[in-house]
């Protein structure tokens, strides 16, 4: 290869490498989250206060048990930009799992959920608690919180009416059920009659199981209601033993499809009711 040809080839390689760098447009870095939610329920509450999804990070998908999970290194790294971490009181183990470098810069705010996460009054309470926390952290103005809470109140009233209508049309009222203890309050709110409760199969002991079976022997049950987050193995066994239909409720919404037309919490409740209505047919 002659000197001139070698020089020309060298310039071509140099321009090929530099060209994309010189022509590339600078892009803004992805927005960093400011609020960490330890479950999708709290994620939904934050969104209902008007916080953009890009400012929120959620640790636990809705199908997982929020009380038993490990914080991944990538999740711990993203916490660097967050000033508030919202957790339920049964998730206190999260604090001990955080890297030491986050201890001083991250405010861990514990929220005590009322019984029955799917009850509208429970959601109202949790959103109000969340609003107070974000106001204190200067992440939400009082005016915006007031506006959002008023809109939420009106929406919850419409949701309550829709649930009552669905239940009435399906003719579901005071039916006897065996239900996961994590769904008992919601089942009562729906107008069902829980005559016995149980826990997930990995932690339940024989005594409560036998007690639930004894109750069902005295009064036949129409449905066995399981809680998605704790698993359905025991509920399936009970349903087979008692020749009852299995219905699976969830306590945690899917925020991936959250929008103004179908907010995550509302979708959670309507989907639970839909499963019950379908099982009644």
* Tens of pLDDT, residues 161-196: 999 999 999 999 999 999 999 999 999 999 999 999
Contacts of 241 (CB under 8 A, 6+ apart): 213
Residue 257 lies inside a defined structural domain of this protein: yes
Q: Decide which of 133, 158, 183 is a domain's last residue.
A: 158
Same domain, 102 and 199: no
Same domain, 41 and 150: yes
Q: Decide which of 108, 124, 158 is a domain's last residue.
A: 158
Binned at pLDDT 50, 70 and 90, residue 16 comes out as very low
d(CA 246, CA 132): 39
Residue 223 lies inside a defined structural domain of this protein: yes
Residue 3 lies inside a defined structural domain of this protein: no
Same domain, 182 and 243: yes
> Is it the case that residue 10 has pLDDT exceeding 50?
no
- Number of Cβ within 10 Å of residue 163's Cβ equals 20
Domain count, the chain: 2
Q: Indicate the average pLDDT of the chain.
A: 86
Q: What is the pTM of this model?
A: 0.84
Confidence at residue 125, expressed as pLDDT on a 0 to 100 scale: 98
Q: Strand 176-180: give its sheet, edge to edge.
A: 193-198, 176-180, 223-227, 245-249
Same domain, 122 and 221: no
Whether the Cβ atoms of residue 187 and residue 164 lie closer than 8 Å to each other: no
- Of 88, 78, 83, the closest CA to residue 32 belongs to 78
Residue 18 lies inside a defined structural domain of this protein: no
Confidence at residue 258, expressed as pLDDT on a 0 to 100 scale: 64
CATH code for position 188? 3.40.50.1980
* Tens of pLDDT, residues 39-64: 999 999 999 999 999 999 998 878 77
Query: What three-state secondary structure class fits 106?
Result: coil
Same domain, 180 and 78: no
Same domain, 275 and 189: yes
Whether the Cβ atoms of residue 258 and residue 264 lie closer than 8 Å to each other: yes
Same domain, 125 and 199: no
Residue 27 lies inside a defined structural domain of this protein: no
Residue 12 lies inside a defined structural domain of this protein: no
Same domain, 151 and 174: no
Helices H / strands E in the chain, number of each: 10, 8
| Domain span holding position 260 | 168-280
**If phi over 0 gives left and psi between -120 and 50 gives alpha, with beta otherwise, what is residue 53?**
alpha
Residue 29 lies inside a defined structural domain of this protein: no
Structure tokens at 93: 């183990």
Burial zone of 101 (CB within 10 Å; 0-12 exposed, 13-18 middle, 19+ buried): exposed
Residue 25 lies inside a defined structural domain of this protein: no
Q: Decide which of 123, 158, 193 is a domain's last residue.
A: 158
Same domain, 128 and 213: no
Confidence at residue 144, expressed as pLDDT on a 0 to 100 scale: 98
Query: What three-state secondary structure class fits 208?
Result: helix
């Amino acid at each position: 290869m002659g000197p001139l040809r070698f020089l020309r080839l060298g310039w071509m390689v140099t321009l090929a490498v530099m060209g994309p760098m010189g022509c590339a447009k600078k892009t803004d870095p992805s927005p960093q989250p400011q609020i960490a939610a330890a479950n999708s329920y709290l994620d939904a509450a934050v969104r209902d206060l008007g916080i953009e999804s890009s400012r929120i990070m959620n640790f636990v998908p809705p199908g997982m048990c929020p009380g038993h999970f490990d914080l991944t290194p990538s999740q711990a790294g993203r916490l660097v930009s967050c000033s508030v971490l919202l957790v339920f009181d049964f998730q206190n183990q999260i604090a001990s799992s955080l890297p030491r470098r986050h201890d001083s810069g991250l405010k861990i705010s514990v929220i005590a959920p009322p019984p029955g996460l799917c009850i509208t009054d429970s959601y109202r309470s949790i959103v109000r608690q969340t609003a107070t926390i974000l106001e204190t952290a200067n992440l939400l103005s009082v005016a915006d919180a007031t506006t959002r809470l008023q809109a939420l109140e009106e929406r919850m009233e419409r949701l309550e009416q829709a649930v009552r209508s669905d239940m009435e049309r399906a003719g579901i009222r005071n039916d006897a059920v065996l239900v996961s203890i994590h769904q008992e309050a919601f089942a009562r709110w729906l107008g069902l009659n829980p005559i016995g409760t149980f826990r997930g199969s990995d932690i339940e002991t024989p005594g409560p199981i036998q007690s639930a079976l004894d109750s069902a022997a005295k009064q036949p049950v129409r449905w066995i209601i399981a809680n998605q987050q704790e698993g359905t193995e025991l509920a399936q066994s009970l349903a087979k033993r008692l020749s009852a239909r299995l219905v699976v409720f969830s306590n945690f919404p899917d925020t991936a499809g959250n929008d103004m037309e179908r907010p995550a919490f509302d979708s959670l409740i309507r989907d639970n009711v839909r499963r019950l209505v379908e099982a009644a047919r």
